[in-house]
């Protein structure tokens, strides 16, 4: 495989983060190493690429020009490596994915493990973020393909249904608050205590719409605490008599081990889809290979129907 000059990759990371410390973490090198690579690149370019003012870092006009061509250059290298590999019937290169929390924690790892076994010559990098962040990463070509929990009205992006999901009411097994009931009426939701994701979560949007449809005011639910992840919510549920709404994909292990249980609520439907997202136009051969691989894997289980 032909590699881009490492200094250029360091520059792209620093330019996107506008912070050498974050760039060092992203590139898995020390901060002095980031500074050294940037200084060498600036010496070769014969001009400053960054404007340094105290702790603030901005791109100079030359830096902005350099970033545009550096991104184009890395894309050319990736295409070249891919096409060289295809001459031998082998897929080569780096696949850059972006995914929301539920997908990156509970769905993608298993798919990526199988993908790696099938295509060991492909390096995979996964970045995390909400749908808006994933769109930004796609727009500036930081990633090749996104997998997200919801649609947006961004006309520059193409969304394709990937996988069905269902958000369910869940609590610890044997919670005395249920008193032997496995089904609740919508009004009984107001008698429970909840732990939910932080405000702005896509899952919360799904819950709010669903409970509103069964006549419950979202703000009437008694939320004791907001937590940042499904993992922290599950741990909280195991130690309390609280309830939460979580993706069924996030609780599969706890259901199998009989630690958590799903509570049915009459007429409450919280189904949703996960989506592949990418800019309109031709998709690269690596993201297309992964997209097809993921579709084929789940199609065997009959749990989704791809749009195309």
Q: Which residues pair with 122 in a beta bridge?
A: 93
Sign of the Cα torsion 109, 92, 75, 83 reads negative
pTM summary value: 0.68
For the segment 201-206, the average pLDDT, to the nearest whole number, is: 79
Q: What's residue 308's pLDDT?
A: 41
Domains for the chain: give ranges and CATH numbers: 6-87 (1.10.10.10), 95-282 (3.40.190.290)
With both helix axes pointing from N to C terminus, report the angle between 31-45 and 6-17 in degrees, rounded to the nearest 10.
110
Confidence of residue 16 (pLDDT cuts 50, 70, 90): confident
- Cβ contacts of 103 within 8 Å, gap of 6 or more: 147, 148, 149, 274
What is the distance between the alpha carbons of residues 19 and 13, in angstroms, rounded to a whole number?
A: 9
In the block, residue with structure tokens 């419950």: 216
Query: Which tokens in the block code for residue 33?
Result: 């190493």
> In this structure, what token pair is assigned to residue 164?
């069905």
* Interatomic CA distance for residues 92 and 83, integer angstroms: 8
256-283: per-residue pLDDT in tens?
Answer: 999 999 999 999 999 988 999 999 887 8
**CA dist., res. 205 & res. 115, Å (int):** 32
* Average pLDDT value for residue range 59-73: 91
What is d(CA 153, CA 155) in angstroms, rounded to the nearest whole number?
A: 6
108-167, pLDDT tens digit by residue? Answer: 999 999 999 988 888 899 998 877 888 888 988 889 999 998 777 888 899 999 888 999
- Mean pLDDT in residue range 58-67: 93
């Amino acid at each position: 495989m032909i590699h881009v000059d490492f200094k250029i990759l360091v520059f792209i990371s620093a330019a996107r983060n506008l912070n050498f410390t974050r760039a060092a973490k992203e590139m898995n090198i020390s901060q002095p190493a980031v500074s050294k690579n940037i200084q060498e690149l600036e010496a070769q370019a014969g001009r400053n690429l960054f404007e340094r003012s105290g702790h603030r870092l901005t791109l100079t006009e030359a830096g902005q020009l350099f970033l545009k061509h550096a991104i184009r250059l890395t894309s050319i290298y990736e295409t070249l490596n891919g096409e060289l590999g295809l001459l031998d019937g082998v897929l080569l290169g780096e696949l850059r994915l972006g995914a929301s929390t539920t997908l990156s924690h509970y769905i993608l790892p298993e798919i990526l493990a199988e993908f790696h076994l099938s295509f060991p010559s492909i390096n995979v990098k996964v970045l995390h973020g909400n749908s808006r962040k994933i769109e930004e990463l796609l727009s500036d070509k930081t990633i090749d393909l996104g997998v997200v929990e919801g649609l947006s009205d961004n006309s520059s992006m193409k969304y394709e249904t990937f996988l069905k999901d269902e958000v369910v009411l869940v609590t610890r097994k044997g919670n005395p608050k249920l008193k032997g009931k496995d089904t609740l009426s919508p009004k009984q939701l107001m008698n429970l205590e909840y732990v939910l994701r932080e405000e702005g979560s896509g899952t919360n949007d799904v819950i709010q719409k669903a409970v509103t449809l069964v006549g419950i005011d979202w703000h009437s639910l008694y939320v004791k605490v907001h937590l940042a992840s499904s993992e922290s919510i599950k741990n909280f549920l195991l130690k309390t008599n609280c309830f939460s709404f979580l993706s069924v994909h996030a609780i599969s292990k706890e259901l199998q081990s009989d630690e958590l249980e799903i509570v049915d609520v009459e007429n409450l439907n919280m189904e949703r889809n996960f989506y592949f997202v990418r800019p309109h136009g031709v998709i690269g051969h690596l993201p297309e290979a992964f997209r097809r691989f993921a579709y084929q894997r789940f199609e065997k289980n009959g749990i989704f129907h791809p749009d195309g």
